[in-house]
Amino acid sequence: MKNEHEISVEGTLSIEEGLSMEERLSIEEGLSMEEGLSMEERLSMEEKTFTREKALIKEKASIKEKASIIERAFAKEKASVKVKRPKKESPAQLLPYERFLRFGAESLTEAELLAIIIRTGTKEKSALQLAEQVLKLARYPKEGLLGLYDITVKELQEISGIGEVKAVKLKCLAELSMRINMSRARKGMNFKSSGQVAAYFMEKLRHLETECVYLVCLDVRGRLLCEKRLSEGSVRMSLISPREIFIAALANKAVNIILIHNHPSGDPTPSLSDRELTDNVRELGEKMDINLLDHIVIGDKRYVSFREAVWQQQ
């Protein structure tokens, strides 16, 4: 039976057999060097080797620790950044402009339509909230967009966020709306119908605080040639002279004319001066072959037609 020394030698030999000549010489040289060293020198070498290994381990630990710190910091920063994922918005959550592009103007409320015109809001209020405030200014019975025509620029500017530019835009919108409606109403209008003519001018004149006089010029077939505003801001109809009326009628080659004016009081009952002026214009028109078909006085949702209410009684 082989002892431990013999087994060790055989194991060493078997390992050495797989080594090259240079590797064997290196091992032998190392062993011979160690054999020639004293105990102190060997301990010193082992201590230096241990110190180097310890330094390497410490350096590796330091690198790993730094990497761990960086990784934790990156993870913290990543967690603090909230990724905004696009949400599917319902039609009610879309801004008015976006709703218009997707669904058309007919899908918008009156406030949303105004918000697009207003365009921008303030830090405290959106354009839609400003639009809602504008609509609240409308006075009964003209509510919503219909009341915008009666709201003054000054009243609009009292809303925080509505300056002069936005106020003017809103007033222009109201004017355009009224003109479009009147243009539609004028097509196919029967000017022999006092009710149709009164309805056509009602919204334009009933809200005014001063008298305004219009002259409607018609051709021989009763078709509209023009409508001309003779005065605005006068206190009474009597300040208009027949001469002004016929100068405008002749300039537009009118064969028939209609006079329309308003009473700011809201009561359309003709005054004495209204009757006198109407009679004078009618008599002069007969002499000049320019017939006065009617004189309509506009009140608050009411009117009086001379042709229907006065001349038929004479």
Question: What is the per-residue pLDDT across 157-208, written as a single tens digit (0 to 9) for each?
Answer: 999 999 999 999 999 988 888 777 777 766 667 888 898 899 888 877 877 7
Decide: residue 157, CB within 10 A, 0-12 exposed, 13-18 middle, 19+ buried.
middle
Rg value, the chain, Cα: 50
pLDDT on residue 256: 95
In a shared domain, residues 148 and 234: no
Number of domains forming the structure of the chain = 2
The pLDDT of residue 20 is: 58
Q: Are residues 201 and 286 both part of a single domain?
A: yes
Contact 249, 217 (CB under 8 A): yes
Do 307 and 209 belong to one domain? yes
Residue 81 lies in a domain: no
- Which of 157, 182, 207 is at the close of a domain? 182
Q: Does residue 100 sit within a domain?
A: yes
- What pLDDT is stored for residue 13 in this prediction? 47
What is the C-alpha to C-alpha distance for residues 310 and 168, in angstroms, rounded to an integer?
42
What does the pLDDT read at residue 313?
66
- DSSP assignment, residue 35? H
Same domain as 307, residue 194: yes
Q: Which two tokens stand for residue 11?
A: 């194991």
Are 160 and 250 part of one and the same domain?
Answer: no
Q: Give the pLDDT score at 15.
A: 47
Does residue 55 sit within a domain?
A: no
The answer to whether position 39 is within a domain reads no
CA atoms lying within 13 Å on the CB side of residue 62: 6
Residues 107, 147 within the same domain? yes
> C-alpha dihedral over 241, 245, 246, 247, to 10 degrees?
100
* 13, part of any domain: no
At residue 78, what is the residue type? K
Could you give the C-alpha distances from 309 to 68, 269, 304, 314, in angstroms and in order?
A: 100, 10, 7, 10
Give pLDDT tens digits along the chain (314 positions).
545 444 444 444 444 455 556 555 555 555 455 555 666 666 677 677 767 766 777 666 677 676 777 777 767 666 665 555 445 545 555 688 888 898 888 889 989 999 999 999 999 999 999 999 999 988 766 677 778 877 889 999 999 999 999 999 999 988 888 777 777 766 667 888 898 899 888 877 877 778 889 999 998 888 888 888 887 665 555 567 888 899 999 999 999 999 999 998 889 999 998 999 999 999 999 999 999 999 999 998 899 999 988 787 65
Domain span holding position 246: 189-313
Please state whether the predicted TM-score (pTM) of the whole model is above 0.85.
no
Query: Does 208 lie in the same domain as 281?
Result: yes
Beta bridge partners of 231: 213
Residue 273 lies in a domain: yes
* Judgement on whether residues 206 and 173 belong to the same structural domain of the protein: no
pLDDT the model gives residue 4: 46
Predicted pLDDT at 14: 47
Residue 9's pLDDT is what? 44
For residue 180, the model assigns a pLDDT of 79
